Chain A
Amino acid sequence: MRMYLLFTGALILVLQIWIGDWMKLKIVPRLLKNLIKKPMTVRFPNESIPIPEGYRGEHEYDKGKCISCGLCAKVCPNRAIEMVQSENGRKYPVIDIGKCCFCGLCQDVCHTGALKLTKNLVSPIIVDSNKKEKSGM
């Protein structure tokens, strides 16, 4: 496929130079360099760019470490966390993902480390029933 493109490109170039437009010659070194360069994109979902540490994704909550102080509800700038009464008499946070802006202030303010942000993107799982299952992380 690339050889056909190169051939037609070279043909048009030669024709234009023959007609008398010398300025097009400047493109030739650039053309050859672009031919051997890798593209800027990757073929998702077969390959993907790795996500670094510290990315702010979905929440992960450990109920055993929570002490019900309520600071995460007070610090959220969008009022997305609500403290809800449960059966054993204590209150636990409930997060509304639609209002959350994934800023990470609730993770910073939690003293015991019960609320953390993981690296998962909030994205659906891509499945193709003809081939075997792949997850679109």
Chain B
Amino acid sequence: MSHENVKERELFFGPAHPGSGNFCVKLMVDGEKVLSARADPGYLHRGFEKLMEYRDTMQNAVLSDRICVFEPLAWNLVHAEAVDGLMGVDVPERASYIRVIMAELSRIQSHLIWYGGMSMGIGFDTGFKMAFGYRDYILDIFELITGGRVYPAGYICPGGVRKDMPDTAREKILDVLKRIDEIKMLEKFENPTLLPRLKNVGVLELKDTIRLGATGFVMRASGMRTDVRKDDSYEVYDQLDFDIPIQNDGDAYSRFLVGIREIEESIKIIRQALDELPKGRLKPIKPKLSTKIPEGEIYIRNEVARGEAAMHMVSDGTGSPYRCKIRGPSFLHMIPVLEYLLKGVQIADVPAIYWSLNPCPADMDR
């Protein structure tokens, strides 16, 4: 049988690849050109929506950090707001400011992982090492406040926070923020390794974004001014003063620039929140096995580092939720948007496009 007439071959950019995480994309290639792509999720499916129906609220708060591995504190906040809304509880103001500080630190840390992963996928090793080096300072802050470096075990729980911030945390946070300011120089150097790989690669125009389901920084890099913290505001974000970075080109380099500017805005928010933090002491929250959630339903939207995260919770009067639907931003970014962007590109551009969408296989599969 001769092989000269074979035009298409199937290539797995797959789950055992060093640059792709727990996610597989099946590419049909012809020489060096990709003809079509098909996403194959499901390697990290744990069934969270059914697991949450068998546990009560404090146990669910511990479980909610594992919805997305890269930013556990942000998903803790989504779950805590849903239960607080159903129970009609008003969180004390000091706890609300502490929640905002932890969520913004988690956003900076997640963008640094994104920058490191993107550099590793392209081959820019210096960027990878610098990003993970700076991220370690933030993990030391998490260890001081919550007790664990990566998983805070439900620190942001329904009713406030699990325990108050210690007194030495404030100087430590200001010291770390001064060191992270050096990240700004990554943008100024116009690195000849980074620019030609990212400019004009994976262009997503504004008219296609809403139809494909893109949210968050992907829409901001294509020119649309939108942010859930400003449009559908939650916690104390409406009392803080910050800006939304916009770019107009829609390619991978624009998304990278939006990410770097978002780190600067988060540093501004944390400094304001530390200045305005109300005085006082919070009581630690202990788990109670007899709490019941009143009947009703609620829909909460938040802005995590990757886009718009949402949770729809239905309760029937017992201690566990009756149904808890989780909407992750990566579910839309990695299946429709990726299949649309990978048509007709060269194989060497596939890692650059894949990483520029900030993928998280964990919150796609849940």
A108/B286 contact (C-beta < 8 A), A26-B189, A52-B144, A55-B143 known: yes
CB of A108 within 8 A of CB of B55, answer no
Task: State which residues 40-58 of B face A: CB under 8 Å.
Answer: 55, 58
Query: Chain A: interface secondary structure?
Result: loop
Find chain A residues with CB under 8 A from B59 CB: 75, 77, 105
CB of A77 within 8 A of CB of B62, answer yes
Q: Does B6 contact A (CB under 8 A)?
A: no
Please measure, in the bound complex, the distance between the C-alpha atom of A30 and the C-alpha atom of B185, giving whole angstroms: 10
Find chain B residues with CB under 8 A from A104 CB: 147, 153
Q: Does A102 contact B (CB under 8 A)?
A: yes
Q: Does A114 contact B (CB under 8 A)?
A: no
Q: Does B88 contact A (CB under 8 A)?
A: no
Q: Does A103 contact B (CB under 8 A)?
A: yes
Find chain A residues with CB under 8 A from B189 CB: 26
Q: Does A71 contact B (CB under 8 A)?
A: yes
Q: How far is the CB of B363 from chain A (nearest CB, A)?
A: 19
Please measure, in the bound complex, the distance between the C-alpha atom of A103 and the C-alpha atom of B185, giving whole angstroms: 38
Please measure, in the bound complex, the distance between the C-alpha atom of A40 and the C-alpha atom of B136, giving whole angstroms: 9
Q: Does A91 contact B (CB under 8 A)?
A: no
Find chain B residues with CB under 8 A from A51 CB: 143
Please measure, in the bound complex, the distance between the C-alpha atom of A52 and the C-alpha atom of B172, giving whole angstroms: 12
Task: State which residues 6-49 of A face B: CB under 8 Å.
Answer: 26, 30, 40, 49
Please measure, in the bound complex, the distance between the C-alpha atom of A77 and the C-alpha atom of B153, giving whole angstroms: 11
CB of A54 within 8 A of CB of B147, answer yes
Pick the contact of B62: A26, A49, A53, A105 (CB < 8 A): A105
CB of B287 within 8 A of CB of A105, answer yes
A56/B148 contact (C-beta < 8 A), A77-B62, A102-B153 known: yes
Q: Does B133 contact A (CB under 8 A)?
A: yes
Pick the contact of B286: A52, A102, A109 (CB < 8 A): A109
Q: How far is the CB of A70 from chain B (nearest CB, A)?
A: 11
Pick the contact of A75: B143, B284, B287 (CB < 8 A): B287
CB-nearest residue of chain B relative to A57? Answer: B147
Give 20 pairs: A residue, B residue, CB < 8 Å, sorted on A: A30-B185, A40-B136, A52-B144, A53-B166, A54-B163, A54-B166, A55-B147, A71-B289, A77-B55, A77-B59, A77-B62, A77-B63, A101-B62, A101-B151, A102-B148, A103-B153, A105-B287, A108-B286, A108-B287, A109-B289
Residues of A within 8 A of B (CB): 26, 30, 40, 49, 51-56, 71, 74-75, 77, 101-105, 108-109
